[in-house]
């Protein structure tokens, strides 16, 4: 059963799960490597976000993952799969 974005965001509030944090880092690093621009108004690069990731940042990465998964412009299967893995990890946490 897939949860909606609001339910997923709520789960992120106090999440400090190694699997989820790892999935966040993988997604951010992949976005950086593939040079995909998802948000214009970010204050650090995706690689910097991955290196400085804290539990409170999981909701930001979830937002990126949802955008990647739903984007019609992003065709990269690896990137879409990484986004889906993160979303599933949060759903199962």
pLDDT per residue as tens digits for the range 23-64:
999 999 999 999 888 876 678 889 999 999 998 899 999 999
Provide the domain limits for residue 33: 5-92
Token duo for residue 16: 């400090």
Do 87 and 7 meet the contact criterion of CB atoms below 8 Å apart?
Answer: no
Do 47 and 28 meet the contact criterion of CB atoms below 8 Å apart?
Answer: yes
Domains held by the chain: number: 1
For the entire predicted model, the pTM comes to 0.86
Q: How far apart are CA 49 and CA 83, in angstroms?
A: 16
Q: How far apart are CA 14 and CA 46, in angstroms?
A: 22
CA distances (Å), origin 11, targets 45, 59, 81, 83, 91: 25, 9, 21, 16, 8
pLDDT per residue as tens digits for the range 67-84:
999 999 999 999 999 999
Instruction: Give the pLDDT of residue 5.
Output: 85
Q: How far apart are CA 38 and CA 89, in angstroms?
A: 21
Q: At 2, is the pLDDT very low, low, confident or very high (cuts 50, 70, 90)?
A: low
């Amino acid at each position: 059963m897939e949860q909606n974005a609001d339910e997923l965001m709520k789960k992120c509030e106090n999440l400090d799960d190694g699997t989820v944090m790892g999935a966040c880092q993988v997604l951010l690093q992949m976005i950086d490597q593939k040079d995909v621009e998802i948000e214009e108004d970010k204050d650090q690069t995706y690689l910097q976000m991955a290196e400085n990731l804290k539990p409170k940042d999981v909701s930001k990465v979830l937002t990126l993952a949802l955008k990647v998964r739903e984007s019609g412009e992003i065709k990269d299967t690896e990137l879409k799969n990484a986004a889906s893995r993160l979303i599933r990890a949060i759903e199962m946490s």
